[in-house]
Structure 1
Amino acid sequence: MTATTITGPGIEARRDGRIGRLRLMRPRALNALDLPMIRFMREWLDRWAADPAVEAVVVEGEGRAFCAGGDVRAVREQVLGGAHDAAEEFFAEEYALNGAIGHFPKPYVALIDGICMGGGLGISVHGSDRVVTEAAMLAMPETGIGLTPDIGASFFLPRLSNFLGTYLGLTGARLSGGDAVHAGLATAFVPQAAVGALSAALAAEGTAAIARFVAPPPPFSLAPQLGTIAACFGADSLAEIEARLEAEGSDWSAETLGVLRRMSPSALCWTLASLRAGASRDLDACLAAERALVRHIIRLPDFAEGVRAMVVDKDRRPRWQPGRLEEVDPRAIAALMQTAH
């Protein structure tokens, strides 16, 4: 059939052969999600879920990013302006979209050929097929902006083996496309040169086309560290994680310790608690807990400061409150986590 395209705010929906195709089109903003884009995606997912002529949905990004996450710059402006309800609405609808993807009744294919961070994982990892190329880069960098890995990350990160999800969630470490397959965040590796042909084949053949394009991923770059990651990040407190990294004594552990000490100390604490709790919750419960937690976090000073330092001014010199892990009040963290039950 002839493809028809409906253009939305920074995104388009297109019925293309056997598939419904969503294309994120904010390349200058690295396809960061704002509320109108989230609503547009949800509207078309609901339509295509009910349309028997649509066999699958394919999501792509224009430019060098699949999706760099939610538009935290805009959320910060809302928070600083006192528009907390608007900021909460953004997260509520984003998480509802993540849940809808997780429960989508048809194949949902994310073609990740570029940057995919934070909310970008929220619109990909919960789907049935996550195809990555050598240009893909996946990360959950929220502890570096005083937030917490959300969009259902407290569900999928704890389910990675060797406490790899705890490592990724706390450090914000970046995974290549091949590494994402080995880690379990992606389901297939396709060379970048072939991803255009795969995209076209999906419209003609449906998801059966993926198998023809899959290639073996490069070796797992973290393979030499998996034992250390499991031993260190399996600890139940940040202090113990840091102590184990110090005791391990390798260049890698020293570098990792340095990364942790640049993150928001408070964010590290509530993130570890969120990941541990999420290990025994289903996706819907994790999203609900994250929504309750984030509602409070965005009101704390580290969120506005972290986004300022990393996204707005880009001086990468956040002034955390408190500035050291030893100064974080465990009672304050425990009280915060009570809100996410």
Structure 2
Amino acid sequence: MSTKVGSEVLFEKVGNAGVITLNRPKALNALNLTMIRHIYPQLKKWVKDSETDLVIIKGAGEKAFCAGGDIRAVSEAGKAGDSLTQDLFREEYILNNTIGTYQKPYVALIDGITMGGGVGLSVHGRFRVATEKTLFAMPETGIGLFPDVGGGYFLPRLQGKLGLFLALTGFRLKGRDVQRVGVATHFLQSDKIVSLEKDLVDLKTPSNSDVAQLLDSYQEQVSCSRKTSTDGVCIHVCVCRTDHILLLFYCFRLFSAGSVEEIMENLKKDGSAFALKQTETLAKMSPTSLKLTFRQIQEGARMSLQEVLVMEYRLSQACMRGHDFYEGVRAVLIDKHQSPKWKPSTLSGVSEQAIEECFSSLGERDLKL
């Protein structure tokens, strides 16, 4: 079973596995509403199908799993008063929740760029397999948004203050680091993906532990580099984790604060190359987005995935009503001059009342899961 050639998302039944291929390689497999409306019912169908034992999701082409959502289309819809600004976020978040609560093994092969909407399609699933080509980021504060698709759930559950750091700065994690921090569950070399997929579809009625065992066996092949000692005996030298530990240390020390303003003070006082770089990065982001995101991560740490998605839908609609999202898309994605004119332009100009209103209930229009 597969969809017609040329479809933006392909579905196949291979062995006992349902395989989803995001099929917009020229657009880096960016997720749009049409794709969401195909994936959601297919997942619902497979979870009830006794002949489908697991689901695999991957991206077509060499570059990306999924580089994000179709943000330009949402921006155009918002300007035109089109319902896409409600429909895409609502249906995407419902899909994220379906993945997060899926009752069969769900394996995302995040081999390549994985950002925004692509994170939502992968990170809530039971298994996420990164490779040396994986590039993970949640860069939404740079376009007047916030790290949505359940970012408020998984980011505060990363080690220390790493999730808050990633959320505010849009910092890019690459390769093995994506697995080290817990965004991916496993890491292997990209040339092993085809072999892994074959072994996955050959599993007979696998449990989550069966899938984990298979993935572990692949990861063990790359977890250490081999080196021959002077007496010819092959020994294992584990890959250095210094950079990862340093990143965690800096994040904890500098991003442990009660507000975005305090974080900026910490960074300025520290004065290290790392701190100066983050100060420079944060200065480019939407001040409103930074404050929304700080509160989102704080609140999300105490919430279930479902509660987070309801909160994030409220935030998404607040961004659709505001100024910075449209300005960010124009400056970063359309004109590409990377110099958006944010309103307000400073952190001090963003009132607590304005942020509070973004978190307010939408009443009948709230997301229902």
- TM-score category by the smaller chain? over 0.9
CA contact (8 A) 2:10 2:21 kept: yes
Alpha-carbon separation, structure 2, partners of 1:219 and 1:120: 29
What's the CA shift for 1:337?
Answer: 2.5
Mapping of residues 183-222 of structure 1, within 5 Å: 183-205=181-203, 207=211, 208-214=213-219, 215-216=222-223, 219-220=240-241, 221-222=243-244
TM-score where L is the length of structure 2: 0.88
Task: Tell me the residue number matched to 1:6.
Answer: 3
Mapping of residues 311-326 of structure 1, within 5 Å: 311-326=333-348
CA contact (8 A) 2:314 2:359 kept: no
What's the CA shift for 1:14?
Answer: 0.3
Cα deviation, 1:202-224, whole Å, max 9, x if unaligned, reads 11126353233212285443321
- Deviates most, 172-181 or 89-98: 172-181
Q: Does 1:286 align with 2:283?
A: no
Task: Tell me the residue number matched to 2:173.
Answer: 175
What's the CA shift for 1:156?
Answer: 0.5
Query: RMSD in angstroms over aligned alpha carbons?
Result: 1.5
Local SS of the residue matching 1:298: helix
Q: List runs of 5+ in structure 1 lacking aligned partners.
A: none
CA contact (8 A) 2:12 2:19 kept: yes
Task: Tell me the residue number matched to 1:27.
Answer: 25
Alpha-carbon separation, structure 2, partners of 1:197 and 1:314: 40
Alpha-carbon separation, structure 2, partners of 1:236 and 1:112: 34
Task: Tell me the residue number matched to 1:240.
Answer: 262
Alpha-carbon separation, structure 2, partners of 1:144 and 1:219: 32
Alpha-carbon separation, structure 2, partners of 1:310 and 1:26: 21
Instruction: Decide which of 276, 280, 284 is 1:262's aligned counterpart.
Output: 284
Task: Tell me the residue number matched to 2:274.
Answer: 252
What's the CA shift for 1:268?
Answer: 0.1
Q: Structure 1 vs Structure 2: percent identity of aligned residues? A: 40
Task: Tell me the residue number matched to 2:233.
Answer: none
Alpha-carbon separation, structure 2, partners of 1:227 and 1:257: 17
Cα deviation, 1:11-42, whole Å, max 9, x if unaligned, reads 10000002100000101111111111001111
Local SS of the residue matching 1:116: strand
Alpha-carbon separation, structure 2, partners of 1:312 and 1:255: 26
CA contact (8 A) 1:9 1:37 kept: no
What's the CA shift for 1:330?
Answer: 2.3
Q: Which amino acid aligns with 1:216?
A: S
Alpha-carbon separation, structure 2, partners of 1:174 and 1:198: 26
Mapping of residues 98-137 of structure 1, within 5 Å: 98-137=96-135
Q: Which amino acid aligns with 1:156?
A: F
Q: Does 1:335 align with 2:345?
A: no
What's the CA shift for 1:331?
Answer: 2.1
Alpha-carbon separation, structure 1, partners of 2:288 and 2:361: 16
Task: Tell me the residue number matched to 2:140.
Answer: 142
CA contact (8 A) 1:33 1:69 kept: yes
CA contact (8 A) 1:9 1:36 kept: no
Aligned residues: 337
CA contact (8 A) 1:79 1:298 kept: yes
CA contact (8 A) 2:314 2:358 kept: no
TM-score where L is the length of structure 1: 0.95
- Deviates most, 157-166 or 329-338: 329-338
Q: Which amino acid aligns with 2:298?
A: R
